[in-house]
């Protein structure tokens, strides 16, 4: 192990105290490749969002840093000004909560993946994705324009517009996995997300990257913001909520109202009909109607695809696990097939996507055997299931979480007691 002569030396314990809380609430440190960085002020200007880097305060952020930064040379200019020292030579490569051998083997796997060229995208693949989207876009508008505004051509046009899958394409661009240069991905992402999808690019920067950094970690993964105001998620969190006598929704029925929470705008309201009478342009009204129907279908589609990989998995507070363990405990895969790949935008390979977020989706199936081998070697559970089972598991999990909450709410039972009571019932 090499270190600079005269550099300040720290222990994991010292770094772990600099979380921005407690006695050192003004200090935030993190470790990257054994180097200690002070991000107490920088986290507010972090290009990836202040909360993302803040969630790693007091922790080793090496794997997250490598996973998110495709252009390492570009970010070095930020790191140099933040460097305050490094770990002492007698300190292990990672914190005690992490599997050091697994961390080491994953680093070797990542280097192997890079040498194999699996982090480079295929131009023909994404050209086909774009052509597929463009032709369906044109076909949907042509169908409605040529065959009239009756319900049949309207619904056919909406269906074609929905299966364009702009949502999955912007997902690729947001992860810097389409073009080799990050700049081109960001420009294209701004166009697809901001214009074609009509959503702010800042949503991606602030929310989705945080989800990848700390998946299924309550108070850190923004996808869990629905707990506890809409749903009660995770066994331990549900029991905790029940014991505190918190009840914002009838959680014992949450598996029943799950679908309805997100399926909105399916029908044209009275206000829309009034607007149609008042509008001078038929195209404006038509566009609004298509948008309502399309967003309803697409939001429901994307909801089930995204949540089938996470809701049934472990949901709890951040335990500061190593990168592989934290991602595998929070994600699962769905069987590989041409339909599943298309229908999910290759998010059926959620494990590989979370381990290598900048990897182009067409390479997930190539790296999957290597990931399985790594997991088998270290006893990490690699879960893969049929797609219908994955959908059903969302409802089963929500039902179980609701029952856990109800048992704790009524009888003030702990996690172990709730599990025993559930088995008896």
pLDDT tens across the length of the chain (425 residues): 344 555 799 999 999 999 998 888 889 999 999 999 999 999 888 888 888 899 999 999 999 999 998 877 778 777 888 999 999 999 999 999 999 999 999 999 999 999 999 999 999 999 999 888 888 888 887 887 788 767 787 778 778 877 888 889 989 999 999 998 888 998 999 888 877 776 777 777 778 999 999 999 999 999 999 999 999 999 999 999 999 999 999 999 999 988 765 444 333 334 444 444 444 455 555 555 666 666 677 778 888 999 999 999 999 999 999 999 999 999 999 999 999 999 999 999 999 999 999 999 999 999 999 999 999 999 999 999 999 999 999 999 999 999 999 999 998 755 555 555 454 44
369 within some domain: yes
* Calpha distance 53→38 (Å, rounded): 11
What does the pLDDT read at residue 278?
Answer: 45
**92 shares its domain with 104:** no
What does the pLDDT read at residue 315?
Answer: 97
**152 shares its domain with 233:** yes
**299 shares its domain with 257:** yes
Q: Which residue in the block uniquely carries the two structure tokens 């206000």?
A: 271
Among 97, 117, 139, the domain-final residue is 97
**214 shares its domain with 124:** yes
**92 shares its domain with 103:** no
412 within some domain: yes
Structural domains of the chain, count:
2
**78 shares its domain with 156:** no
Compute and round to an integer the Cα radius of gyration of the chain. Answer: 24
**65 shares its domain with 140:** no
**58 shares its domain with 68:** yes
What does the pLDDT read at residue 50?
Answer: 86
323 within some domain: yes
1 within some domain: no
Among 97, 129, 159, the domain-final residue is 97
4 within some domain: no
Q: Do residues 75 and 352 lie in contact, with contact meaning Cβ atoms separated by under 8 Å?
A: no
Q: Which domain holds residue 225?
A: 99-267+276-424
What does the pLDDT read at residue 135?
Answer: 87
121 within some domain: yes
**182 shares its domain with 315:** yes
385 within some domain: yes
**239 shares its domain with 252:** yes
Among 56, 79, 97, the domain-final residue is 97
- At 40, which CATH number? 3.10.120.10
**68 shares its domain with 162:** no
Burial degree of 26 (CB within 10 A; 0-12, 13-18, 19+): exposed
**108 shares its domain with 232:** yes
50 within some domain: yes
């Amino acid at each position: 192990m090499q270190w600079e002569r005269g550099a300040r030396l720290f222990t994991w314990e010292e770094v772990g105290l600099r979380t921005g809380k407690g006695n050192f609430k003004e200090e935030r440190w993190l470790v990257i490749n054994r180097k200690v960085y002070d991000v107490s002020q920088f986290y507010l200007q972090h290009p990836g969002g202040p909360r993302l880097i803040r969630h790693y305060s007091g922790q080793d952020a090496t794997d997250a840093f490598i996973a998110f930064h495709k252009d390492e040379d570009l970010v070095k200019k930020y790191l140099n000004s933040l460097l305050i020292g490094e770990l002492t030579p007698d300190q292990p490569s990672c914190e005690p909560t992490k599997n050091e051998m697994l961390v080491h083997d994953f680093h070797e796997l990542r280097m192997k993946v890079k040498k194999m060229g699996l982090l480079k995208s295929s131009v023909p693949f994404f050209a086909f994705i774009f052509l597929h989207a463009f032709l369906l876009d044109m076909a949907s508008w042509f169908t409605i324009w040529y065959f009239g505004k009756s319900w049949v051509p309207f619904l056919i046009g909406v269906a074609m517009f929905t299966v364009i899958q702009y949502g999955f394409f912007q997902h690729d661009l947001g992860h810097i996995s389409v073009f080799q240069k990050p700049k081109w991905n960001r420009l294209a992402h701004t166009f697809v997300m901001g214009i074609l999808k009509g959503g702010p690019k800042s949503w991606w920067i602030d929310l989705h990257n945080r989800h990848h950094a700390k998946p299924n970690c309550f108070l850190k993964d923004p996808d869990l913001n629905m707990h506890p105001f809409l749903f009660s998620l995770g066994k331990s969190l549900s029991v905790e909520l029940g014991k505190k006598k918190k009840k914002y929704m009838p959680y014992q029925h949450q598996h029943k109202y799950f679908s309805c929470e997100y399926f909105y705008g399916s029908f044209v309201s009275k206000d829309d009909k009034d607007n149609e009478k008042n509008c001078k342009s038929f195209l404006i009204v038509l566009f609004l109607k298509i948008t309502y129907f399309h967003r309803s279908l697409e939001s429901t589609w994307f909801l089930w695809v995204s949540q089938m990989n996470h809701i049934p998995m472990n949901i709890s507070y951040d335990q500061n696990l190593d990168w592989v363990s934290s991602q595998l405990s929070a994600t699962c895969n769905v069987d590989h097939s041409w339909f599943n790949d298309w229908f999910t935008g290759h998010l059926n390979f959620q494990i590989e996507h979370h381990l290598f977020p900048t990897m182009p989706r067409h390479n997930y199936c190539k790296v999957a055997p290597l990931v399985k081998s790594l997991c088998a070697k270290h006893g990490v559970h690699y879960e893969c299931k049929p797609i219908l089972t994955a959908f059903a598991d969302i409802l089963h999990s929500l039902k179980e979480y609701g029952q856990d909450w109800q048992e704790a709410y009524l009888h003030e039972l702990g996690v172990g007691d709730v599990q025993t009571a559930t088995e008896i019932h």
